[in-house]
Amino acid sequence: EVQLVESGGGLVQPGGSLRLSCAASGFTFSSYWMSWVRQAPGKGLEWVANIKQDGSEKYYVDSVKGRFTISRDNAKNSLYLQMNSLRAEDTAVYYCARGQYSSSWCYFDYWGQGTLVTVSS
């Protein structure tokens, strides 16, 4: 059974940093693209970042470029999101998702339950 379990969320002040983790199990982690998707309270889904199987390609939504870094450790079956210079508008539930990916399509077939990040003073 595919499982994705996020952790690391919490309350952080504007300008602060936080590192999210996602522990994967039930599939060959190193064979899949992985992603982070977020959802602000009461709002819709927003893609945040993708990372290729070996970490050699990474893509970000414009609003987090230069502030967030996606990474992975295939030996630990883990995905990470380092978030720096956090803003109030980054407040959201952050989901880890497994990606099905090609040069012309990308979608998410499994999702974790999410971890809440709140940016507030």
Partner 1 sequence: SYELTQPPSVSVSPGQTARITCSGDALPKQYAYWYQQKPGQAPVLVIYKDSERPSGIPERFSGSSSGTTVTLTISGVQAEDEADYYCQSADSSEVVFGGGTKLTVL
Binding residues vs partner 1 (CB under 8 A): 35, 37, 44-47, 50, 59, 61-62, 95, 100, 103-109, 111-114
DSSP 13: -
The one-letter code for the residue type at 46 is: E
Pairing of strands 58-60, 78-83: unpaired
Identity of the residue, 52 or 67, whose beta carbon is nearer to partner 1 in the bound complex: 52
* Min separation Cβ 74 and partner 1, Å: 22
* Min separation Cβ 105 and partner 1, Å: 5
Identity of the residue, 12 or 50, whose beta carbon is nearer to partner 1 in the bound complex: 50
* Min separation Cβ 47 and partner 1, Å: 4
Identity of the residue, 23 or 45, whose beta carbon is nearer to partner 1 in the bound complex: 45
Q: Do the beta carbons of residue 6 and residue 94 sit within 8 Å?
A: yes
* Min separation Cβ 24 and partner 1, Å: 14
Cα dihedral 89/5/109/28 (nearest 10): 130
Q: Do the beta carbons of residue 4 and residue 98 sit within 8 Å?
A: yes
